[in-house]
Structures are given as C-alpha cells and as structure tokens.
Amino acid sequence: MQTRIPARFGNILILIVGLIASCAREVEMKAPADATKRVLFVCIENSNRSQMAEAFARQLGQGKVETYSAGSRPSGRVNPRAIEFMREIGYDLSTHRSKGLGALPEVEFDVVVTMGCGDDCPYIPGKRYVDWELDDPAGKAVEETRQIRDEIESRVDSLIASLD
C-alpha cells in the first residue's frame, strides 16, 4: 500500500524538513569544537607544587580540563615526599615526571597558574594568568607539607569551578 501526500502538503513538508536541517547546521556551527579547558601549572622545579596541582586537576576536572605542569628550571624528578603525601590521599604521583617548559604543547592555555617561580617564569601564551603564592613544601615539616597539599587541592577545586 502506497500513501500519497497531496501536493500542497508535500511542499509544506519539504519546507519543514529544510528548516530543521538549517537549524541543525546552525546549532552544529555554534557548538564548541572542544569544551575542555587547557590548564597549566608552573613552578620552578616541577617536582612538588605544580605536580600536586596537576594531579588534583586530573582528579577534580575529569572531562573538563586538559592539564599540564612544567618547571622554569625542572629538577628532572618528582620529589619523593610529594609522591608520599599524594599517596596518603590515594593518588599515585610516581607515574609523573618533572619536565621543562619546552616539553609543553605549542598551544594557548586557557589558564596559566604560576606557583612561586617569580621572575623565572617566561611568557607562556594564555588567556588568563593566576599567581598562587604558596610555600615550597620541600624540606617542610610533615604537617606543614600536608597543609600546603590541602591548600593546593582547595585552590585547584576553586579554579575548576570557575571554568564553567
């Protein structure tokens, strides 16, 4: 059985389908190509603060952020105490490595967070710059190191919330 649509309805149907297709193309054109934000954490050695911040951003920003860390003068290793203090809260920092700014992709970051590198931080292409004055946990007492770690977590959480 074949259904025939009267000509006047057929023209209306063609118009409706054309409008729907046009709206779909417009919505597709307006949708962001990549909704994730690129966030970079920079400190001097990329062995403590920036490594912890990268770890927290990976945990707290899953699906929202593409996160990186680097050092203006990288030490070449992640501080064993940073690994220890992140392990306390269930994150394995031993898989991370200390890297320099030259190891970063050549992109514009949505947010560049400097963490105590002062004049040692060269220009990094970014849309927004934030400086977190945080003590370096290297050589600090156990409780002081935990406080710095927890402060980094809190700041990363606030930063990710601000990206929405």
Question: 68: helix, coil or strand?
Answer: strand
Annotated catalytic residue, options 43, 52, 83, 113: 43
Annotated catalytic residue, options 39, 121, 152, 160: 121
Q: Which of 162, 67, 50, 152 is nearest to 105 (CA)?
A: 67
Question: 126: helix, coil or strand?
Answer: strand
Determine the Cα–Cα distance for residues 74 and 43; give it in Å rounded to an integer.
Answer: 9
Examine the residue annotation and report whether 117 is marked as an active-site residue of this protein. yes
Annotated catalytic residue, options 117, 152, 156, 160: 117
Examine the residue annotation and report whether 23 is marked as an active-site residue of this protein. no
Would you name the residues annotated as active-site residues? 43, 117, 121
